[in-house]
Amino acid sequence: MIGGSGVYDLALLEDTQRIEIASPFGAPSGPVTIGTIAGVRFAFLPRHGEGHRIPPEGVNYRANIDVLKRCGVTDLIAISAIGSLREEFAPGSFVAVDQFIDRTSGRDGSFFGEGLVAHVSLADPVCPRLSSLAADAAQAAGAKVHRGGCYLAMQGPQFSTRAESRMYRQWGVDVIGMTGMPEARLAREAELPYALLGMVTDYDSWRDGEHVEVDQVVQVMHANAALARRTVNELARLLPPERAGSPIDHALDNAIMTAPAKRDRALISRLDAIAGRLAL
Ligand SMILES: CSC[C@H]1O[C@H](OP(=O)(O)O)[C@H](O)[C@@H]1O
Ligand SMILES: Nc1ncnc2[nH]cnc12
């Protein structure tokens, strides 16, 4: 699990171990905590680091996913604070996001590049099985849950202007945040089924006379902290004892374009965790 704003630890984890893992993609947000809940092994990483040190544009998304992959993670659930662009997605409710629009810029958005070109499909960026499990867990924990929603990833760190917020509504966007991209696209390249469970903390600035302020976000986040914790607990209980395979486990099978003789050996060795399975 990757925890977002307000979710800096998984208090329910038992038999925990904190591990500092190095990544060829640079420094991750911090050590990974590994432990169990109801017999299920979880690895947890707070996206903004302990004490919320790292801004959304400064998160090393590649290193975070790389180190989780190195821990043996098979499925990735991200928790995020989100603003709502729809009246019926009220603050306090949860949204199991199923689509993204990426308006971020200047972030490293791929593990691949010159010397090893790859194109994975991102038509359906979220794993339906994992997303539905996350939604079931939030519902069992007592949350009001919306299944499906389009998340616009903005660059931040400032919140949107009123004109942007209203334009995003016209685009059919449901919720907004600053971190879902490039996280979701990198998870797909890493062949990790990904789900994003958003906690609505505010109505973004599209309503007359209202605008989002961080104190309001923090207030709703704190009010929701216990619910988020119960959700993780329920999730551990809902996960099937045997993990079913997913087509996302093989997302890279037909993705590599670069001819074997032209491949960059240094890049291939950096990709040992992400694409080692392919024996490039
Ligand atoms: C604290 S409001 C803005 C901040 O919260 C969200 O973070 P995360 O997605 O990690 O929960 C949003 O994306 C911004 O980074
Ligand atoms: N309104 C908003 N815009 C961007 N990110 C957010 N995170 C929580 N609320 C947000």
Contact 202 CB / ligand 2 (< 6 Å): yes
* CA-55 nearest atom, ligand 1: 15
- Assigned token pair, 74: 């098979």
Which of 237, 214, 209, 190 lies closest to 75 in space, CA to CA? 190
pTM over 0.95: yes
Contact 197 CB / ligand 1 (< 6 Å): no
Judge contact between 3 and 14, C-beta under 8 A: no
Q: What is the mean pLDDT of residues 31-45?
A: 95
Is the predicted pLDDT of residue 102 greater than 90, yes or no? Answer: yes
Contact 46 CB / ligand 1 (< 6 Å): no
% of residues, the chain, pLDDT over 70 = 100
55-64 pLDDT per residue, tens = 999 999 999 9
Distances (CA, A) of 32 to 12, 64, 145, 185, 259: 15, 9, 28, 21, 36
Reported ipTM: 0.99
| Mean pLDDT of the chain, nearest integer | 96
| Catalytic residue check, 208 | no
What lies within 8 Å, CB to CB, of 245 at 6+ separation is none
Q: Which residue has its alpha carbon closest to ligand 2 atom 4? A: 177
| Catalytic residue check, 202 | yes
Q: How far apart are CA 263 and CA 187, in angstroms?
A: 22
Which of 66, 73, 80, 71 lies closest to 6 in space, CA to CA? 80
Overall CATH class of domain 75-278 = alpha beta
Is the predicted pLDDT of residue 93 greater than 90, yes or no? Answer: yes
221-234 pLDDT per residue, tens = 888 888 988 999 99
152-199 pLDDT per residue, tens = 999 999 999 999 999 999 999 999 999 999 999 999 999 999 999 999
